[in-house]
Structure 1
Amino acid sequence: MQVNTQELIERFAKVFPGDSPRCVARAPGRVNLIGEHVDYNDGFVLPIAMSQALYVVAGPADDGHVTVNTTAFSESVRFPANDPGPPGSPMWGNYIRGVARMLLNRNVRIKPARLLIHSDVPVGGGVSSSAALEVGTAMALLTLAGQRLDPIPLALLARQAEHEYAHSPCGIMDQFICVLGKKDHALLLDCRSQEYEQLPLRFPETVLAVMNTQVKHEIGGSEYPVRQRQCQEGLAILKAGHPHIASLRDVTSEHLDTCEKRMDVVAFSRCRHVVTEIRRTQQAADALRLHDATQFGQLMTESHVSLRDDYAVSCPELDALVDLATGVPGCYGARMTGGGFGGCAIALIHRSAEQPLRDAITKEYDTRFKKPAIVYVTVPADGAFVHSL
């Protein structure tokens, strides 16, 4: 859905009578094409910035406070501009408080402000609505303060806010793609060195179908930290046998084979996913360079199988969507994307397959799970930016 920023500006005037907006920040959601649950294991990831985004309309205030309203929730968030306070309620407000705290820690003098937030990025869908909220808020507050941050420091600040205020131990991918996204490109990101490469996404007549299970998840209280701990348990055993290994990035299938008997079966499976997923992501980048949609799609589907069987972060709804998508002629491949346990699956499809995919999901998924899956198409878009008014 195309967001009309003029309508948001007019809505700001209704929500905050007498106040005038000075800027509109736009921060996109993201779809990770492949490379799941490897960012916190020093791996490679291959996300795109989505055409769907979060918008922050911002203007100055004269009451010493930052006041935040959204078009999605009835609650508002309000705190002194010089003291955002500790994490609290509502939960979504913690991302904003966290960003404010991190900016203050960098000696940014936050100005009292009015913020109106609107988003067409699905919340809890595994497409990084939280990173969009963090980055969009930071850019708006920086603009009102007459300051700016370069993309990488901005991404790292947003990630720190999520760590400290949402207690979600995310890697660097979500915030990096939010600020570094480029139209018609995917971002190959090395999560160890933070080096990246913009790769053109040139698969003629293809689109990405995003299929939202409408099963919600909150990573902070989920199995996400458990998976990280299991990876570290396996890594400790691998290090004991191979002292040169610093992270699972350094592990080969041969290393895993030599340590399998000394590892817990669950930890072994988790490590196997990470090792093979890092390899698949590098192969997928090669497929992009060769414009080979068939190979790319096959790697996507293999990734889902590994996430389902070895990493155990899928769910019946995600599996059903992937199975339905891969059964439609014109689908190159499909997989869950994001943290898992709900959220979204994605499919690389020929344009002609969009309606057959929608029809198959309506017929099968909606009947089986007694709720509709929301399907929309996205394309690689530019990263976050702010427009002064």
Structure 2
Amino acid sequence: MYDPAQLRSIHLSRFGDEPAIFAAPGRVNIIGEHTDYAEGFVMPAAIDFATLAAISPRADGKVVLYSENYAEQREFEASSLPAERSGHWTDYPLGVLAVLAGEGHTIPSFSLSLWGDVPLGSGLSSSAAIEVATALAVTALIDVGYPRPVLARLCQRSENEFVGSSCGIMDQFISANAAENNALLLDCRDLTFRLAPIPASVALVIANTMVQHAITGGEYTSRRAQVEEAAAVIARHRPEVRFLRDATLDDLERYGSEMSPLALKRARHVITENTRTVAAAEALIHHDLKELGRLMAEAHVSYSQDFEASCEEADAMVELAQDLPGLIGARLTGGGFGGCTVNLVEQQHAREFAAALGQRYAARTGIIPQIHICHASGGANRVQESIQAVT
């Protein structure tokens, strides 16, 4: 649960000024991993977890950032903000400010309070939620309006160029553009999308393995490099192929011997995952939940074996869900190497499913997981004063 009224009270007490409050959700990716930076397809949904940003103007030339989660405040001169990351949580809002400044906007003096309940390092995109909430708050303060796809791209740039993470566009896009009760099939090439309704009879059960990942780490970066290596090999023979979005399994048959074995495996995952993701959206649109579940299962095997971005705990979480009542499909979600699994479950069985999966996982691994029953939420927005709490 996140509580705008509580953040308003915190901000008012700390800074003495009435804030405007914005919320940006985290996300769960139902299918389509490591396809976004290959200009492919992804199918995420926003979830109930979010980051809140409370902002108010100042008159002393300072930008003051406060995190309720870290119980820490940092001050900067608005006219000379840091030009590079420091490895601190402030990198995420400062990165947004750096990109906005690069777009020609003068960064004013303000106080910004952040608070969120998106679990850090869980694969539910806490960083994108911070970026989008910050961007909405600051652009509102300076009275600048960006179309939501453009805002998402600016936030992606802040993470790529300032924070130093080579993430694709998916996380920021779904946080900014989500529609309640829908997944979103996003074409990462041109940012067009289709909504795929999630039936009211289906719950999103998110199971946190409690194994944290960091997408600024070496594993994520090496996987992306291997994907790009494979695309470059194919492009030598087919110059029109700039990204694996345009490649086929036939290309791997023809030119795979010119790639490193790891690049070949990564490419096979990305190419087949693109096909699965489009098929999964069609299955959801046509209410073919059996086919959706089959595609999710296939996607997890590919993610674990070809992309090698799973881990023992995540594989166990997926395995242990398979024979539980109500399961439609289960797979590891997010950047990989830990984090959460997403389980589509018949709503009537969701609580029983969550309890049983938690017990099984704890017995298998000795780790007590966090398991949440969620629904697909709407995208980032300004929080109305009348809203007291959102669950």
TM range (shorter): over 0.9
Determine the structure 2 residue equivalent to 1:15: 14
Residue 92 of structure 1 deviates from its aligned partner by: 1.4
Counterpart contact for 1:37–1:274, Cα < 8 Å: yes
Q: Deviations over 1:19-45 (max 9, x none)?
A: 213300100101111110000011111
Q: Structure 1 counterpart of 2:243, which letter?
A: S
User: Who is 2:243 aligned against?
Assistant: 247
Question: 1:9, CA displacement in angstroms?
Answer: 1.0
Q: Which amino acid letter does the alignment assign opposite residue 198 of structure 1?
A: L
Task: Give the aligned partner of residue 125 of structure 2.
Answer: 128
1:81 to 78, 82, 89: 78
Aligned to 1:96: 93
Distance 2:384 2:182 in 1: 26
User: Which range moved further: 278-287 or 377-386?
Assistant: 377-386
Tell me which residue corresponds to 2:253: 257
Partner secondary structure for residue 229 of structure 1: helix
* C-alpha distance in structure 1 between counterparts of 2:69 and 2:204, whole Å: 26
Tell me which amino acid in the other structure corresponds to 1:257.
E
Residue deviations 1:236-261, cap 9 Å, x none?
Answer: 22223334423211111222122233
Q: What is residue 355 of structure 2 aligned with on the other side?
A: 359
CA distance in 2, matches of 1:232, 1:145: 38
CA contact (8 A) 1:186 1:200 kept: yes
Deviates more, 1:278-287 or 1:82-91: 82-91
CA drift at 1:364: 2.4
The SS at the match of 1:287 is: helix
Q: Is the 8 A contact 1:22 1:144 kept in 2?
A: no
Counterparts of 1:90 and 1:184 in 2: how far apart (Å)? 36
Answer with 107-116 or 285-294: which moved more: 107-116
Counterpart AA for 1:164: E
> 1:345-380 CA deviation, whole Å, 9 max, x = no partner?
100001233233233333222233332110001111
The residue number in structure 2 matching 1:372 is 368
For 1:296-307, list aligned pairs within 5 A.
296-307=292-303
Please, which of 102, 109, 121 is the counterpart of residue 112 of structure 1?
109
The equivalent of 1:170 in structure 2 is: 167
Question: Which residue number in structure 2 is paired with residue 137 of structure 1?
Answer: 134
How has the CA–CA distance of structure 1 residues 362 and 246 changed in structure 2, closer, same or farther, with 3 Å as cutoff? closer
Q: What is the DSSP-based 3-state SS (H/G/I as helix, E as strand, rest coil) of the residue aligned with 2:60?
A: coil
**Bigger shift: residues 142-151 or 303-312:** 142-151
Q: Please state how far the C-alpha of 1:47 moved relative to its aligned partner.
A: 0.8
| Equivalent residues of 1:36, 1:337 under 8 A apart | yes
Contact 2:326/2:353 (8 A) holds in 1? no
Percent of aligned pairs with the same amino acid: 37
Deviation at 1:111, TM superposition (A): 2.1
- Matched residue SS, 1:219: coil
Cα distance change on mapping 1:69 and 1:244 into 2, 3 Å: closer
Find the counterpart in structure 2 of residue 65 from structure 1. Answer: 62
Whether the 8 Å CA contact 1:328–1:353 is kept in 2: the answer is no
Distance 1:4 1:268 in 2: 47
User: Given the alignment, which residue of 299, 302, 319 partners 1:323?
Assistant: 319
Q: 1:190 to 1:318 in 2, by over 3 A?
A: same
Greater alpha carbon shift after TM alignment, 331-340 vs 378-387: 378-387
Q: Which stretch of structure 1 is more off in the superposition, 118-127 or 68-77?
A: 68-77
- Partner Cα separation in structure 2 for residue 22 and residue 144 of structure 1: 10
2:335 is aligned with 1:335 = no
Q: How many residues align?
A: 385
Q: Residue 232 of structure 2 contacts residue 242 of structure 2 at CA under 8 Å; is this kept in 1? A: no
Gaps of 5+ in 2: 386-391
Once residues 379 and 166 of structure 1 are traced to their aligned partners in structure 2, the CA distance between those partners, rounded to angstroms, is: 30
The 3 A distance-change label for structure 1 pair 90 and 275 is: closer
Q: Give the aligned residue type for 1:156.
A: R
TM-score, length of structure 1 as denominator length:
0.95
TM-score normalized with structure 2 length: 0.94
The alpha-carbon deviation at position 327 of structure 1 amounts to: 2.2
- 1:66 maps to a residue whose letter is V
Determine the structure 2 residue equivalent to 1:284: 280
Query: What does residue range 127-276 of structure 1 map to in structure 2 within 5 Å?
Result: 127-202=124-199, 204-276=200-272
